[in-house]
A and B are shown apart, each in its own frame.
Chain A
Amino acid sequence: MSTVLLIARRELRAAFAGLYGWAILALVLMLDGLFFNAYTLGSQRPSSEVLSLFFYTNFGVTMAAAVFVTMRSFAAEREQRTLVLLLTSPAADWQVVLGKYLGALGFVLCTVIAAAYIPAMVYLKGNLEWGQAAAGYLGIGLAAAVCTAIGIFCSAASPNQLAAGVAAGFLVTLQVLFWLLSGISDPPLDAVFAAMDLYREHFEPFQDGAVHLKTLVYAPTVSFLFLLGSVRVLQARRWT
């Protein structure tokens, strides 16, 4: 097994080994269920709108889950003094970062899968559009990839879990509020901010069933940059 997958598997198992991971999963399911109940149950909305609303709320819940999961990633290991095990192993720093990233992303996607009972209900009781569902889940996956990478970077750069959570929360929130900055900025900054906006520019079309090529470029690029930043942080810490 490659070093990356080895570290990812341990991360994923660790997330489910303690109360913390299960608590996040329970919270995700509770919030998804509450939002679904509040917005759609009992209403006469068409199935496509119900599904769109589900993806809308699931997007926010998944982002929060990514922040809560990743804030522990490096910061908790540093606090518990276990990070040294990885840093003194023959694993390269990029392998450590990628392994932790994939493990955390795996957990976040597990929470997404766990909430799939809601689209399943739409399928059973309504008229599920498979294309919209696939596009929506692709959008959720891409957004989760971005938010998890941001969280990993903040966890690698922060001295403790709380600071990592606050920093990741701020950066993720910033990612979905770029459209506000875009609205009050002059050209060409407005276009730059709009292109960086995670929700309006890069997720909203997916929740309605449209797959945009620019998002397929945006999400891996942003994720890569934050992971590269994480590797640089680890390397820099060896010098300080």
Chain B
Amino acid sequence: MGNVHTDQLSKNYGAVAALSNVGFECGAGDVVGVLGLNGAGKSTLLRILAGELLPSFGSVHVGGVELGVDSRAMRSLVGYLPEEPPLYREMRVRDYLQFVGALNGVPGRLLAGRIAAVAERVHVEHHLDRVIGELSMGFRKRVGIAQAILHEPEVVLLDEPVSSLDPAEIVGMRELVRSLGGERTVFTSSHHLREIHETCDSILVLHEGALVVHGTQAELGALAGRERLEVELKGTPHDASRSLPAGAALVSTEDLGGGLSMIVVELAEAPREAVVAALVASDLGVRRVEPVRSDLEGVFLDLVSGDGVPDSAGNGSGS
């Protein structure tokens, strides 16, 4: 079982099913993006993983502890930043972090050092004595992340961490989220597809409360039939086209000058290795082969519209 595991997770708000039969598994250190349209169930999923809500049906395990069986122990393993950071505006940052640390059971003798370390990590070390209400939204988000990781949880949940941030703050937040992975499992939801693209190892796509797919970005691209290779070669595109094995197709070409061409090959069914081997073997002077990063927006829209959903969708297991 992974670090985070859900099975047939469902949540109803009255007659409305916010989540239905969501099952996935994530390993320690994964950075998992949660994608979905408004009302897809992203926030509900994170609120359940945080222990704020209890599921109507199904189970949630974090670090081997089941929500509902030992909810307090599970909550101690999770750090949570909602979309609106839960900050007491009248408090100073240091006092707030002291309160949150003590609330989450950080021993008093460790608290000062832990606050200093976390503040430095999220770059608020020069604002510890400022009143939270006076901080910009970017710094409030950072303080929100600080409170979420202060007790060194195994799982960190970030709900729309870049919402309301300016472009410079978004770049900083992206680096921060990325840096949290590796040592702990991170879930981050966002409407900004680029954020997910830039920061996440794997992606959960939710649509109308159901898990459409869970996989890496490459897997998502492959599911939607969009995995492509960019190849720079000395031959002509026509020669390259003839060299491609069955199941691969030339999508676009570009004359780079000096006898060089750039082609983009879509891998419909042919394995990537076979395509590369065929091009190299055809003596076309292959200079560079690079997978084209998936157009995540297109993949996402295909998935939530149902066009690109494979039969196994929704049963993806963790990466």
Q: CB within 8 Å of B: which residues of A?
A: 1, 3, 6-7, 10, 14, 17-18, 80-92, 238-240
Contact = CB atoms under 8 A, between A and B. Distances in A.
B84 A81 contact: yes
Report which residue of A6, A10, A83, A85 has the largest number of chain B beta carbons within 10 angstroms of its beta carbon: A85
Contact of A239 (B54, B78, B82): B54
Contacts of B73: 90
A226 B80 CA distance: 30
B76 A84 contact: no
B52 A90 contact: no
A90 B50 CA distance: 11
B90 A238 contact: no
A87 B52 contact: yes
B87 interface: yes
B100 interface: yes
A89 B53 CA distance: 12
Sorted from nearest, which 10 A-B pairs have the closest CB atoms? A85-B86, A90-B76, A17-B90, A81-B84, A82-B86, A88-B50, A89-B103, A238-B54, A90-B72, A88-B80
25 contacts: A3-B103, A6-B102, A7-B103, A10-B88, A14-B90, A14-B91, A18-B90, A81-B82, A81-B84, A81-B86, A82-B88, A83-B86, A84-B82, A85-B100, A85-B103, A86-B103, A87-B52, A88-B78, A89-B104, A90-B72, A90-B75, A90-B103, A90-B104, A91-B72, A239-B56
Interface in B50-81: 50-54, 56, 72-73, 75-76, 78, 80
B99 interface: yes
Interface residues of B, number: 29
Contacts of B84: 81
Nearest to B148: A88
Contacts, number: 62
Contacts of A238: 52-54
A88 B52 contact: yes
Given A17-B90, A88-B50, A89-B75, 17 more contacts: A1-B102, A6-B99, A6-B103, A14-B90, A17-B91, A80-B89, A81-B82, A81-B86, A82-B86, A84-B80, A85-B100, A87-B51, A87-B52, A88-B80, A89-B103, A90-B73, A92-B72
B105 A90 contact: yes
A30 to B, nearest CB: 24
A240 B82 contact: no
Given A6-B99, A89-B103, A92-B72, A84 B54 contact: no
Given A84-B52, A85-B86, A10 B104 contact: no
A197 B51 CA distance: 40
B13 to A, nearest CB: 7
